[in-house]
Structure 1
Amino acid sequence: MTDNAPPSPPPIDRIQENLLARSERRLLTWICARLPAWVSPDMMTFLGMAGAVMVFAGYVLSNLGEDWLWLAIAGYAVQWLGDSTDGSLARFRKIERPRYGYFLDHSCDGLATTLVLAGIGLSPYVQMEVALIALAGYLLLSIHAFLRVRVLSEMKLSYLNAGPTELRFLLIAFTLAMMAFGASGEGWFGPVSGFDLFTGICGTVMIVLFTQATWSTARRLAAEEPSRNGEWRARH
């Protein structure tokens, strides 16, 4: 009898070296053990998306008053809970759907990141052009991570000992700074807003990390798959 089932994808080695990884893993295990049976991984994924919408709304509404930034901060907490728990819950219950989960989770991650940075760009604190540099940097690193899964069966989840959770803490601190210093940031760096400068630097660092990681991975692959051009010339 011929088995027509699609082949199972190769196991993915998750490379997670961020500072909070161990503590976060213990917390997620504790949460997963206590979630009611009717809560599914898909529900947590969409809870994470709801959190991203809250972040977006908080930043946009901050044009009406800085107190709306508390909505963005609450959104980061909701987004962490949903985004960090969906895959953890599936693995805890041993009900993983590797291809479906991978596709849905990372599709939602891309949309959530776009919402967050678009919201920052639509706030009175950061220019949209600068926010788009940060968005480009984050998405380039995401693309690199997805390509590593294809060519190396490795999912790199952290850079410079920081992952999504550390980034959320950084963004929460950034949002608190918005509330503390106001929208203009005048007097920090002359005509350039401190918020714009910080956001632009973060985006530039991510683009540099993408470039370095691409070069490193390409060299590794080149060593594992040496050029066969000499063989072709010998045959012709």
Structure 2
Amino acid sequence: MSVKLEAPAALCRIQQNWLAANERRILNWLCQRMPGWVTPDRLTATGMIGAGMTFAGYVASNADAAWLLVAILGYLVQWFGDSMDGSLARYRRIERPSYGYFIDHSCDGLATLLILAGIGLSPFVSMDVALIALAGYLLLSIHAFLSARVLGEFKLSYLSAGPTELRIMLIGLTVMMMMLGAGPGFFGTWSGFDLFVGGVGSILILLFVGQTCVTGRRLARIDGEKLNRRT
């Protein structure tokens, strides 16, 4: 017995981060000059290599903080692969909506795990704090995927910030790690880096709670209107 897969409905991509317009111009410029042998799948793999580099750089910083340069380079490679794969597919009009959506966001989840696990295994941030940030990011991802299913809207930014702004913030954090070193910290057992990463994770969790309430009220109103039309 064969199973027929239906094509998913087109999603409305909502991207309102600060750098969206400038980033789009850069990506379009790169798409126009990308050689034919570069494919979206190869770019997705490149993004995963970048995430692996970032993981390795953070872990190796236990031996020497200079390895953090590898982590920074990994962020740049990961941005290039992750941002370009879908852009190139749309530019060449070779999109595979179901396959691309599934693979891209599955890789995003794995890349986020690698990056935050690397941060937690570094001498600068404790693993429990890194896991708070990971939980916040994944909760917001769950919200985005659920909203895509029930509203047809795929939100790519919150508080005017998206993945690119988050990478820039993490690169800045990594530079500060190189400049200041691990040190004993100024807040008991938690360092300033712990407080920063934990604070960002807490904000992401609060955003998830807030967005869930907003979307829940919106869906209740929509479903209520549909119910009234039937009665």
TM over 0.5: yes
Q: Could you tell me whether the CA contact under 8 Å between 1:56 and 1:72 is conserved in 2?
A: yes
State the AA in 1 paired with 2:120: G
Matched with 1:217 is: 215
State the AA in 2 paired with 1:13: C
Q: What secondary structure does 1:226 align onto?
A: helix
Over aligned residue pairs, what C-alpha RMSD do you find? Answer: 1.8
Q: Could you tell me whether the CA contact under 8 Å between 1:185 and 1:194 is conserved in 2?
A: no
Structure 2 runs not aligned, ≥5 long? none
2:56 matched to 1:41?
Answer: no
Deviation by residue 1:113-158 (Cα, 9 ceiling, x = unmatched): 0000000000000000000000000000000000011001111000
Q: Could you tell me whether the CA contact under 8 Å between 1:51 and 1:78 is conserved in 2?
A: yes
Q: Could you tell me whether the CA contact under 8 Å between 1:110 and 1:139 is conserved in 2?
A: yes
Shift of 1:10: 1.1
Q: What secondary structure does 1:7 align onto?
A: coil
Q: Which moved more, 1:6-15 or 1:213-222?
A: 6-15
What aligned pairs does 1:1-236 form with structure 2 within 5 A after superposition?
A: 6-184=5-183, 186-187=185-186, 189-226=187-224
Q: Distance in 2 between matches of 1:165 and 1:193?
A: 25
Q: What secondary structure does 1:225 align onto?
A: helix
Deviation by residue 1:96-124 (Cα, 9 ceiling, x = unmatched): 00000000000000000000000000000
Deviation by residue 1:73-97 (Cα, 9 ceiling, x = unmatched): 0000000000000000000000000
State the AA in 1 paired with 2:94: I
Q: Which structure has the larger Rg over C-alpha atoms?
A: 1
Q: Distance in 1 between matches of 2:98 and 2:61?
A: 38
Q: Distance in 1 between matches of 2:37 and 2:184?
A: 47
State the AA in 2 paired with 1:205: I
Structure 1 runs not aligned, ≥5 long? none
Shift of 1:61: 0.2
Q: Distance in 1 between matches of 2:27 and 2:9?
A: 25
Q: Distance in 1 between matches of 2:138 and 2:103?
A: 16
State the AA in 2 paired with 1:150: R
Q: Could you tell me whether the CA contact under 8 Å between 1:16 and 1:157 is conserved in 2?
A: yes
Q: Could you tell me whether the CA contact under 8 Å between 1:125 and 1:178 is conserved in 2?
A: yes
Q: What secondary structure does 2:224 align onto?
A: coil
Q: Distance in 2 between matches of 1:54 and 1:35?
A: 23
Q: Could you tell me whether the CA contact under 8 Å between 1:14 and 1:156 is conserved in 2?
A: yes
Q: What secondary structure does 1:124 align onto?
A: coil
State the AA in 2 paired with 1:141: L
Q: Distance in 2 between matches of 1:185 and 1:165?
A: 31
- Superposition TM-score, scaled by structure 1 size: 0.92
Q: Which moved more, 1:129-138 or 1:177-186?
A: 177-186
Q: What secondary structure does 1:158 align onto?
A: coil
